[in-house]
């Protein structure tokens, strides 16, 4: 069954903390190589999967925001972008975008003031509020455990209310969901690199430039991943019609013949949700398919055991009138008729005659 929200006792973590302190586990290390994935869609679109961090800053002069620090973090963890957000009341506002192409120089540019994101997950605030007693102990006795190991992400709760509110508002005001951390939080490290191995934002872009990243953010063409549970590169969500393939962030009028194909780079529980409810799921799977039968707001979630691993932005299947549906289905029929037919396989070769059975005792 799909996992529910996990709850844990504060005291249950104390033996785990003591054991980890005693063992003196090493700090997280950057990946040996940066996994790359390119999504080729039928119909001509090709997207590169790039990843980066999002950071909320209350003080615009905070030293962690300096160009050198951002560049060091990106190079060390092989991130291609770094989003900075300014705290405005209760809603962070996108401010700057740092880009670091592999082998290229860092560039920092401002972002359009009307570009919106939805901060559906904030690791810093979530950790401090969900297990304050445990994290106070961890900070007091073994701060590297908090800032560098990524273990805390394995016990985070799902902010279901925030996600539900974001989904409800998405139709009227699309906003790309992001996971972020805060600049300053008393119990936790203030360095952006401390959260680099835990969770990242992934965007599907047609090229690594400010214009392409802004376009992907406007289209909600991306997903959130807890990278310490496994590299998510290779994850795909193809939205297939007869005419073309789309992916995360697409808005498509409903008609018959829309298929979802979700592929994960390693076995996990894959869930396809429609309007916040599970429409189909598979355990210990690397592929899941669904034929779309109704309009709705669809998302994909992947879990490793009870823990969230990948959470996508939506694909919206909009209602259509009978006339629109007939026209779209007629166009799809034309595309199916024009598609090249698979080549016929040659008939199988006749089987060789069976060898005669040997005569017992030899020939006479």
Please write the tens of the pLDDT for every residue from 67-102.
Answer: 677 777 778 878 899 888 876 655 667 888 989 887
Q: Considering only CA atoms, which of 27, 306, 52 is closest in space to residue 150? A: 27
Cα–Cα distance between 48 and 159 in angstroms, integer?
29
- What pLDDT is recorded for position 232? 92
> What is the residue range of 98's domain?
32-229
Assigned domain for 347 exists: no
Q: Considering only CA atoms, which of 212, 206, 17, 18 is closest in space to residue 99? A: 212
Please check whether residues 73 and 204 belong to one and the same domain.
yes
- What pLDDT is recorded for position 98? 87
Assigned domain for 329 exists: yes
Domain count, the chain: 2
Assigned domain for 5 exists: no
Confidence of residue 353 (pLDDT cuts 50, 70, 90): low
Between 110-124, 152-166, 202-216, 280-294, the lowest mean confidence (pLDDT) is in 152-166
Q: Considering only CA atoms, which of 190, 168, 189 is closest in space to residue 177? A: 168
Q: Where are the alpha helices (DSSP H) in 53-171?
A: 67-77, 123-130, 132-141, 143-148, 160-170
Cα–Cα distance between 292 and 253 in angstroms, integer?
11
Q: What is the pTM of this model?
A: 0.78
User: Residue 224 above 60 pLDDT?
Assistant: yes
- What pLDDT is recorded for position 93? 75
Assigned domain for 362 exists: no
User: Residue 10 above 60 pLDDT?
Assistant: no
Please check whether residues 215 and 245 belong to one and the same domain.
no
Please check whether residues 164 and 279 belong to one and the same domain.
no
Q: Considering only CA atoms, which of 47, 66, 68, 45 is closest in space to residue 57? A: 66
Please check whether residues 202 and 241 belong to one and the same domain.
no
Please check whether residues 197 and 87 belong to one and the same domain.
yes
- What pLDDT is recorded for position 104? 81
Q: Highest mean pLDDT: which of 104-118, 260-274, 342-356?
A: 260-274
Please check whether residues 180 and 242 belong to one and the same domain.
no
- Give the percent of the chain with pLDDT over 90: 31
Assigned domain for 350 exists: no
Please check whether residues 153 and 188 belong to one and the same domain.
yes
Question: What CATH number did the domain enclosing 280 receive?
Answer: 2.60.40.10
- What pLDDT is recorded for position 53? 85
- What pLDDT is recorded for position 270? 98
- What pLDDT is recorded for position 289? 97
Confidence of residue 249 (pLDDT cuts 50, 70, 90): very high
- Give the percent of the chain with pLDDT over 70: 63
3-class DSSP state of 16: helix
Instruction: Summarize the confidence of residues 314-325 as an average pLDDT.
Output: 90
Assigned domain for 2 exists: no
Contact indicator for 247, 136 with CB cutoff of 8 Å: no
- What pLDDT is recorded for position 23? 40
Cα–Cα distance between 232 and 36 in angstroms, integer?
10
Asked which of 229, 246, 274 is the last residue of a domain, the reply is 229
Cα–Cα distance between 156 and 78 in angstroms, integer?
25
User: Residue 188 above 50 pLDDT?
Assistant: no
Instruction: Summarize the confidence of residues 20-46 as an average pLDDT.
Output: 64
- What pLDDT is recorded for position 226? 87
Please check whether residues 148 and 289 belong to one and the same domain.
no
Select the more confidently predicted residue: 297 or 136: 297
- What pLDDT is recorded for position 155? 47
Phi-psi region of 149 (alpha: psi -120 to 50; beta: other; left: phi over 0): alpha
Contact indicator for 227, 197 with CB cutoff of 8 Å: yes
Q: What are phi and psi of 208, to 5 degrees?
A: -90, 90
User: Residue 39 above 60 pLDDT?
Assistant: yes
Select the more confidently predicted residue: 317 or 329: 317
pLDDT in tens, 253-268: 999 899 999 999 999 9
SS (H, E, C) 117-129: EEEEEEHHHHHHH
């Amino acid at each position: 069954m799909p996992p529910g929200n996990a709850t844990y006792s504060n005291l249950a973590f104390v033996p785990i903390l003591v054991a980890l302190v005693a063992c003196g586990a090493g700090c997280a290390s950057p990946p040996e190589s940066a996994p790359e994935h390119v999504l080729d869609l039928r119909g001509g679109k090709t997207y590169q999967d790039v990843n980066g961090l999002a950071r909320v800053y209350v003080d615009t002069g905070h030293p962690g925001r300096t160009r050198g620090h951002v560049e060091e973090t990106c190079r060390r963890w092989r991130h291609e972008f770094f989003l900075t957000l300014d705290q405005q009341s209760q809603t962070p506002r996108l401010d700057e975008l740092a880009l670091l192409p592999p082998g290229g120089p860092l560039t920092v540019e401002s972002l359009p003031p009307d570009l919106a994101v939805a901060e559906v997950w904030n690791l810093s605030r979530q950790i401090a509020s969900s297990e304050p007693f445990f994290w106070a102990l961890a900070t007091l006795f073994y701060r590297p455990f908090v800032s560098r190991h990524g273990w805390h992400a394995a016990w985070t709760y799902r902010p279901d209310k925030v996600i539900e509110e974001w989904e409800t508002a998405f139709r009227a005001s699309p906003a790309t969901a992001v996971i972020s951390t805060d600049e300053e939080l008393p119990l936790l490290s203030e360095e952006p690199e401390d959260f680099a191995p835990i969770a990242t934002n992934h965007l599907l872009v047609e090229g690594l430039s400010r214009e392409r990243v802004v376009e992907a953010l406007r289209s909600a063409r991306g997903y959130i991943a807890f990278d310490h549970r496994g590299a998510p590169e290779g994850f795909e969500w193809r939205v297939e019609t007869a005419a073309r393939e789309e992916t995360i962030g697409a808005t498509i009028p409903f008609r018959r013949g829309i298929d979802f194909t979700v592929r994960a780079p390693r076995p996990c529980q894959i869930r396809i949700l429609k309007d916040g409810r599970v429409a189909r799921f598979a355990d210990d799977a690397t592929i899941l398919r669904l034929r779309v039968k109704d309009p709705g707001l669809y998302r994909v979630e992947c879990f490793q055991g009870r823990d969230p691993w990948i959470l996508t932005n939506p694909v919206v299947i909009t209602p259509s009138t009978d006339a629109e549906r007939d026209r779209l289905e007629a166009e799809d029929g034309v595309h199916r008729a024009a598609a090249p037919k698979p080549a016929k396989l040659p008939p199988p070769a006749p089987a060789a005659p069976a060898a005669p059975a040997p005569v017992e005792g030899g020939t006479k």
